[in-house]
Amino acid sequence: MKFIVDQELCIDCGVCEGSCPEVFELVDDKSNVKLDPVPEEFQEDALEAEENCPVQAILHE
């Protein structure tokens, strides 16, 4: 599973990093996806981060 953060939409709130720090980290005021693809063990937490993003900036495929 691959996760993408829309850099235009991200507002640097940190929710995704809080939900799934193994996958998301804030870099230069934007969320960055550290693992591509995201290993199965972290997918559930990454999907939760996607759901919790207040501006729907996270997508997966």
H or E segment and range at residue 51: helix 40-52
Q: CA-to-CA distance for 36 and 19, rounded, in angstroms?
A: 17
47 sits near ligand SF4 (criterion: CB under 6 A): no
Q: CA-to-CA distance for 60 and 13, rounded, in angstroms?
A: 19
For ligand SF4, give the closer residue by CB, 2 or 11.
11
Per-residue x/- mask for ligand SF4, residues 5 to 34, rule CB under 6 A?
Answer: x----xxxxxxx--------------x---
Q: By CB under 6 A, name the binding residues for ligand SF4.
A: 5, 10-16, 31, 53-55, 57-58
